[in-house]
A = this chain, B = another copy of it.
Amino acid sequence: MTYRDVPTETMDRLFLYMRALTCLRREKSETVSSSRLAEICNVNAPKVRKDLSYFGEFGVRGVGYNVNELLDHIRRILKLDRSVNVALIGAGNIGRALITHSSFQLEGFNISMAFDIDREKIGTRVGSITVEDMMDFPDRVEEEGIDLAILAVPEEVAPEIARIIADTNIISILSFAPCELCMPENVKVTCVDLSMEMARLLYNSRQTVTRKKKERKP
């Protein structure tokens, strides 16, 4: 099932709603109103309602939305109702942080394998995972059914690694290398660039007073 006439922006916000609902569930909230949900996500209430209404009538008038129910609906819409297998490439500082920190292991994403090209690191353990040889990556990925790769290697080796990934059937890469990766067209790469986030953040803080307040993109 694909949702053809749903605005791209709405689709985007669904991920925000998902995160907020996950928080609310953790806090044992039973129901949530559109205005509360909007508040958490930094949007406005009518937008929340309109967004949700594209997919059905999930709320109860006069009451609000059932947190668990709505979360399930959204997860199904976003095709996140099955858990996702993630492979980490690069067992350096970032890699270790990602595996160790529980907050990244959120809801259905589990980093189940780690790879490196460094002989020193291969065979060592990070958390409960043993670092494997990057040479074995293509075979192992197919065996284990990996959906997504996290690229946490130094910029210099990123292109080399990229070539290895390109030969597998992985089509989703989350990269920490601050550069363009050369990839086949069907492979989607998201580049995590914290300095860009900081720049945006800083700019917006500085504008708060002078500029008409406007909601920020997620």
Which A residues form the contact surface with B (CB < 8 A)? 2, 4, 8, 11-12, 15-16, 18-19, 23, 40, 78-80, 84, 86, 92-94, 96-98, 100-101, 103-107, 109, 147-148, 155, 171-174, 176-180, 186-188, 190, 192-211, 214, 217-218
Number of identical protomers: 2
Bound Cα distance from A207 to B105, whole angstroms? 24
Cross-chain contact A199 with B78 (CB below 8 angstroms):
yes
Chain B residues near A15 (CB-CB < 8 A): 196, 199-200, 203
From B100, B179, B190, B214, contact of A8 by CB (8 A)? B214
Bound Cα distance from A172 to B216, whole angstroms? 14
A2-B200 in contact given A97-B94, A174-B194, A205-B171 (Cβ < 8 Å): no
From B2, B86, B93, contact of A101 by CB (8 A)? B93
